[in-house]
Amino acid sequence: MAIIIDDSSKVLVQGITGHQGRFHTLKMKEFGTKVVAGVSPGKGGQSVHGVPVFDTVHEAVEETDADTSVVFVPAPFVLDAALEAMGSNISTIVIISEHVPVHDAMRIVSLSLRKQKRIIGPNCPGVASPGKAKVGILPNQIFKRGDVGVVSRSGTLTYEIVDSISQAGMGQSTCVGIGGDRVIGTIFVDCLRMFEEDEQTKRIVLVGEIGGSAEEEAARFIAEHVSKPVCAYIAGRSAPPGKRMGHAGAIVSRGTGTAKSKIKALSDAGVAVATTTVEIPRLLEAQ
Amino acid sequence: MNLLEFEGKQLFAKYGISTPIGELYDGSSPLEGASFPLVVKAQVPIGGRGKAGGIRVVRDRTELDQALKEQLGTTIKGHSVQNVLIEERIESEMELYLSITVDRSMRKPVIMASAMGGMDIESVPDGKILREWIDPSIGLQPFVSDNLIRALELKGKLADQFRFVLESLWRLFQEMDAELVEINPLAVTVDKSLVAVDSKVIVDDDSLFRHESLKKHARAITPLERKAGEKGIAFVQLEGDIGVIANGAGLTMATLDFLMLHGGKGGFFLDLGGTDDPEKVKEALLLAVEARPKVVLINIFGGITKCDTVASGLLQAFDEGCIDLPIVARIKGVNEREAIELLKDSKILPALSLDEAAKAAVDISSGA
């Protein structure tokens, strides 16, 4: 088992002929992902690393039965790409693109809830289930199959933590980068619920950051519904209030969204909170 | 992007929302034909300017000149006052609060309204604030306005006016990609009209590609932050002396946190973001040097940003610019071997772990 994606996932790449689309199609294939199709309007009939390219999602799904899509198109076209994917048989859409307008993100999320489609992101590194499949841009070589479920608002920080888990001899069931934007399709609570139900996952790592209240909501959920051990890291202890620290969502405003409040909420819920990323493997081993 | 009050009011006017009669003034010409009393309001993109002396009611010419002298060219909470808005004073019977913003937890817009307008919404008791969430793909429906009108006990002409203002504000919120539109106070005048006495509009920076007309308003806090923004680099000026360049906001924040634990203090936050262009890396390093920290700490974990891309960008910066600062780099991830090979003969100090890199940077900054 794993969550969100596994070796049965048939992946479609939206924006496959772009620079990023090409590169990461190759890397996903090397990870073992079944990349069955690509979409790039006007470029149907071509192929990228052996993957057939179609003009529309509809066509691609009809020909290949793709059920998962990964979106690499530039921000202004993400709304259209996501709606096109939701209009077909695609059930999981992973949006890598950053700088998606928040109004577009709200429309995508609202429609996905109504159509019961899973959206990951925007502005996320994707999902990897080691030994099975990867959808996104996470570096292949850091993963190792195992029993740790990882969920994170960050990209590179997640790689750092996954790498340290692997280096310590442990592995991951699934690693989900949910994205650093204010409005995202899949939230901590969704992933915690899935990890709790997943047989392969025995322990969970949550990587949060300043801004919003998603970590506090996660803490409440953990206290009530999660029996598996959870450890966490929160980025932004040193961040000054009122400054947007890169991610659209990473801002302490009017005294809310501080690292302190998140760390307290998680600790109160019985979560072991690490002071630095390097502590995570030790905390996991202790559980 | 925070619009100034007068920019917000121009948008209100475009959407049919009444604002006080007024004029933007920069001090360059004499004011003619003023009829008192007037309100003089410093145009700065932050709240709380009233308490800082940025809003004055003036009764005659002398008071007006005095207020202009006190406001123009001064600094309010770090923002210099280039313009003031001089407006008629609105006599109100009652002051309402009305805003639409993005509710992050609910992941949809929320309308907030209150009969206790005119004060900071943060100090209004929660029970006195009405909230209505709107499904963004359905939009504002008449029953929502009805609910608010009933709860605010607005009647007759006032109820019609409120419905109109709310519908206009909703259109503005959606069409202008706003993160926040706020009217506080929304004055109820003696003849039962609604007038937006203040405006607060924040437009989503990520939407500016479809709002060409707003780009000219774009303003950042420091010149370096503006320069970074133009190059697509996220740069935040901080108070310490160790500059941090990393890829990804989370990693950059964690690197700054690491420094803090080792007794160092971050001088800036520079997130390269996802890039595969060595040119952008070069620009980032040049920008970093321009910020004059004591040392630059680079922390890269390669994914979409490949390590060798970063390495060649750094080398280009050394070739072209005058890099006269010590640079500690820790580079890991996609194509890390190629990167290490590239940087072998450079002046960049390599570190294997983030811990090690942070320690090295702190040692350099403290002169150890």
ipTM: 0.92
CA distance A210 to chain B (A): 9
Q: Which of A3-7, A211-215, B218-222, B281-285 has the lowest mean pLDDT?
A: B218-222
CA distance B345 to chain A (A): 26
Chain B partners of A237 at a C-beta cutoff of 8 Å? 257, 260
Computed on alpha carbons and rounded to an integer, the radius of gyration of chain A in Å comes to 18
* Residue A116 binned pLDDT confidence (cut-offs 50, 70, 90): very high
Q: Strand, coil or helix: what is A23?
A: helix
Q: Is pLDDT of B54 > 60?
A: yes
Residues 6+ apart with CB under 8 A from A74: A15, A97
Tens-place pLDDT, residues B297-355: 999 988 768 899 999 999 999 888 778 899 999 998 888 889 989 998 888 888 878 88
Beta bridge partners, A10, equal: A34
Tens-place pLDDT, residues A31-74: 999 999 999 999 999 999 999 999 999 999 999 999 999 999 99
Quote the percentage of chain B above a pLDDT of 70: 97
B304: contact with A, CB 8 A cutoff: yes
Cβ contact (<8 Å) for A138 and B247?
A: no
* CATH 3.30.470.20 in chain B, residue ranges: 92-213
Tens-place pLDDT, residues A181-229: 999 999 999 999 999 999 999 999 999 999 999 999 999 999 999 999 9
Cβ contact (<8 Å) for B354 and A245?
A: no
Nearest chain A residue to B303, by CA:
A139
A235: contact with B, CB 8 A cutoff: yes
Averaged pLDDT score across all residues of chain B: 90
Touching B: A residues 116-175, CB under 8 Å = 125, 137-139, 141-142, 152-160, 163
- CA angle B329/B333/B336 to nearest 5° reads 65
Per-residue confidence (pLDDT) for residue B103, from 0 to 100 = 94
Q: C-alpha distances in angstroms, B185 versus A198, B91, B189, B194, B198?
A: 52, 12, 11, 10, 6
Quote the percentage of chain B above a pLDDT of 90: 65
Chain A partners of B170 at a C-beta cutoff of 8 Å? none
Query: Does this chain's domain A10-120 share its CATH topology with A139-285?
Result: yes
Nearest chain B residue to A217, by CA:
B105
Report, as residue numbers or ranges, the catalytic residues of B. Answer: 97, 182
Q: Is pLDDT of B368 > 80?
A: no
Q: Could you say which architecture CATH assigns to the domain B92-213?
A: 2-Layer Sandwich (3.30)
Q: C-alpha distances in angstroms, B307 versus B214, B285, B347?
A: 36, 15, 17
Give the domain ranges of chain A: 10-120, 139-285
Query: Once rounded to an integer, what is the mean pLDDT over residues B225-249?
Result: 88
Per-residue confidence (pLDDT) for residue B218, from 0 to 100 = 60
* CATH 3.40.50.261 in chain B, residue ranges: 223-365
Query: Once rounded to an integer, what is the mean pLDDT over residues A116-140?
Result: 96
Residue A254 and residue B128: Cα distance in Å, rounded?
19
B267: contact with A, CB 8 A cutoff: no
Cβ contact (<8 Å) for B177 and A102?
A: yes
CATH class belonging to A10-120: alpha beta
A98: contact with B, CB 8 A cutoff: yes
Averaged pLDDT score across all residues of chain A: 95
Tens-place pLDDT, residues B92-111: 999 999 999 999 999 999 99
What CATH number is given for A139-285 in this structure?
3.40.50.261
Query: Once rounded to an integer, what is the mean pLDDT over residues A135-157?
Result: 94
Nearest chain B residue to A111, by CA:
B137
Residue B356 and residue B336: Cα distance in Å, rounded?
17
Q: Pick the closest to residue A237 from A202, A194, A208 (CA basis).
A: A208
B284: contact with A, CB 8 A cutoff: no
Tell how far CA B304 is from the center of its chain: 27
Does domain B21-88 match CATH 2.60.40.10? Answer: no
Nearest chain B residue to A21, by CA:
B304
Q: C-alpha distances in angstroms, A55 versus A18, A60, A212, B42, B350?
A: 14, 8, 39, 54, 46
Per-residue confidence (pLDDT) for residue B216, from 0 to 100 = 65
Report, as residue numbers or ranges, the catalytic residues of A. Answer: 247
B213 residue type, one letter: S
Answer for the pair A238, B256: CB distance below 8 angstroms, yes or no. yes
Query: Once rounded to an integer, what is the mean pLDDT over residues B52-60?
Result: 91
Q: Is pLDDT of B220 > 70?
A: no
CATH class belonging to B223-365: alpha beta
Cβ contact (<8 Å) for B304 and A24?
A: yes
Per-residue confidence (pLDDT) for residue B272, from 0 to 100 = 87
Kindly provide the b/e burial profile for residues B231-267, where b requires at least 16 CB atoms within 10 angstroms of the residue's own CB: eebbbbbbebbbbbbbbbbbbbbbbbbbbbebebebb
B266 residue type, one letter: G
* CATH 3.30.1490.20 in chain B, residue ranges: 21-88
